[in-house]
Amino acid sequence: MTKETMDLISMDVIMPGLDGFQATRKTVRDKVTPQIPVILSTANSQTTDKI
């Protein structure tokens, strides 16, 4: 069995249950996935969302 990992994670900031910021924190703290780049996108126009 081949172990495969993701090359990139792309997600929206607004998701049901766990938002993109929370999911990113979990991803970078996990022992297996901290090196995977994460791209967050959003349609929100608030400055805090853009930063």
pLDDT tens-digit series, residues 1-42: 567 778 999 999 888 999 998 999 999 999 888 889 999 888
Nearest CA among 38, 32, 42, 29 for reference residue 7:
38
pTM above 0.85, yes or no: no
Instruction: For residue 43, give every residue at least 6 positions away whose Cβ sits within 8 Å of its Cβ, in sequence order, or none.
Output: 14
User: What is the length of the chain?
Assistant: 51
Nearest CA among 19, 25, 49, 51 for reference residue 38:
25
